[in-house]
Amino acid sequence: MAKNSKRRLEKNSARKVVRIPAGKKSVVLGVTGSIAAYKSAELASLLVKQGHEVFVVMTQDATEFISSLTLQTLSKNPVTTTFYDEKDNWRPGHIDLADRANLVLIAPATAHIIAELAHGLAGHPLAAIALATRAPILIAPAMNGKMWQHHATQENVEKLKARGVEFIGPEEGMLACGYEGLGRLWNVNDIAFRAEFLLSRHDKLIA
């Protein structure tokens, strides 16, 4: 009897701070038309290894750099590229993804997608998901340094930051265009780490 009481006491004491089991959280991984799109394969793999359900959404330009089949295989889920991928379901697939997402991560993000999000455009599934979701959004830019530093791009970035969108990168280095400077996609492992931080930020509860 005394032993059972002691066990219950220890159990209750351990519950003062509770960590919710991670389970499978849903990450929408947006991939846009940057040469760095090939790195999204490693990022998708890392997120799956971290125990999350990954749904890749690609722009049409992104499919010129990496195949949807590659990302479908690594994410273990269908890849969305157009609104016409959604014919098999009565409910718009992009809205379903927007609702179920615990995080929308766009990596790499071009100047074009950043401008679309800043101005609330929704001409393709990725932009529509970003507009409809209430999940945190994390953007990892990758582009020519002059494009990144252009006033228009910086204004768009500031608009998005003011709305709570988070950015990681870009970093300095040799760019695919031949220039060296700011504009390279941030380290993929660090992007995955930041994503994990955002997903787990509210996991601690005080019992």
The catalytic residues are 177
Closest CA to 168 of 129, 146, 196, 147: 196
